[in-house]
Amino acid sequence: MAPFRECFFRAMNTDIQVSLGTDVSLQEDVTNWFSRIERRFSRFLPDSELSRINKLSGKTTLISAAMAEVLALAEMYRHKTDGIFHFMLLDALQHAGYSRSFEQLAPMRDILAEPPVPHDSQIYLNAAMRSVKLSPGTHIDLGGIVKGWSVDRLSDWLKREMHVTRGLLNAGGDLFVWGGFDEDEPWLVGIADPYNKEVEIAQIALADGAVATSSVLGRRWQTKHGDMHHLIDPRTLRPSKSEIVQCTIVGSHVTECEVWAKVACIVGLSAFLPLLRRHLPHCDALLVTQTGELHFAGDRNRFEERWHGAAVDFIHDTIVQEGWIHHG
C-alpha cells in the first residue's frame, strides 16, 4: 500500500489540505489546479475570466469550458432551490460590505441604508456557442459553488487518470475522501464548533464521500448598520437572518453539499427539512442554531453508524418519519 503524501497551502482565499496514497508526487499538479481555478473564477482579480464577464454585463461573450460547466451547474441549483441559491447577487454582497477579499476588509465598512433595488437578473447560456450573456446590470459571484466543484473535479481526475486509490482533498472544510484511511479504517472528519473552532462537535466516519460546511459566523464583519455576513438572502438582498448559524452536509458530491449547506443557513430549519427530504434523501445534515442547539437531519441509521461524539438535541429522521425526537 502506497504511503500518504501530504501538502498544505493557501489558494482561493482558504486553506487547502491534500493527503494522497500514491508513490508519485502530485503536489505540483494539485497546487497548479487550485491556482488556475482562482485565476479564472475570483471576483477579486480584475483580469479573471469572471471579472471579464461582469464587465461585459449585457453583452454576449465567449467563455472557457470550465466556466461554462460551473455556470450551468450554478443555474441548475438556482432552479432546484427555488432561487435561494443565487449566484447573481454580487451587487447585494458588495453593498453589504464584502467588496474586497475577506482578509482585507476593514471594520465598520460603510454601506447604504437600503439594499440595491431588485431587478430581473437573468443569465443566457449558449452551450453550442459556449457563450454567456448576463442581463444588463447583472453581476455574478461563483464563490458559493466553485470551491466544491474544484474539489469534485480534482478528486475525479486523481482517481480516474492518476489511479490514486486513497485520498483526502480539503478546501476550507469542503472536502472529499475516498478509499478509507487504510484498508480497515475509514477517514474521520471532524466538525468544528462554530463558536469555538478549537472544539469539535462531531466526527464523521467515511470511507468514501463528501462533506461541506457553511456558517454565518466565519466570514462576518461590522458596519454602522450592524453585523454582516456573506450569505445573502435573495428574498431580501441582505445577509440572511435564520436561526441556523452553521450547517454541515454529508453526501456524495462536494458541490451538492456546499450548495445545500448554504441554503439551510439562509432558509432556516423548518423550511430546510422538507427540502432535505425531497432533494437529498442520500444526505445527512448537522445544524447548529443561534442558541447552541445541535440538530441532526437525515437517516437515523446512518447517524448511529457513522456519526461519533455528536451530542444532538434533536434528531429529524427524514427517511422513516416526520418530526423530531428530543434527546435533551
Residue 205 makes CB contacts below 8 A (sequence gap 6+) with 186, 187, 188, 305, 306, 307, 308
Choose among 226, 79, 49, 227: nearest CA to 140.
Answer: 49
Binding site listing for Mg(2+): 144
The C-alpha cell of 301 is what? 441509521
Binding site listing: 144
Supply angle C-alpha 118, 123, 125, rounded to 5. Answer: 175
Q: Is 27 within 8 Å of 94 (Cβ atoms)?
A: no
Choose among 326, 214, 207, 201: nearest CA to 261.
Answer: 214
Choose among 30, 23, 16, 26: nearest CA to 1.
Answer: 23
Choose among 221, 209, 194, 206: nearest CA to 291.
Answer: 194
Provide the pairing of β-strand 174-178 with 187-193.
Answer: unpaired
Q: Is 44 within 8 Å of 100 (Cβ atoms)?
A: yes
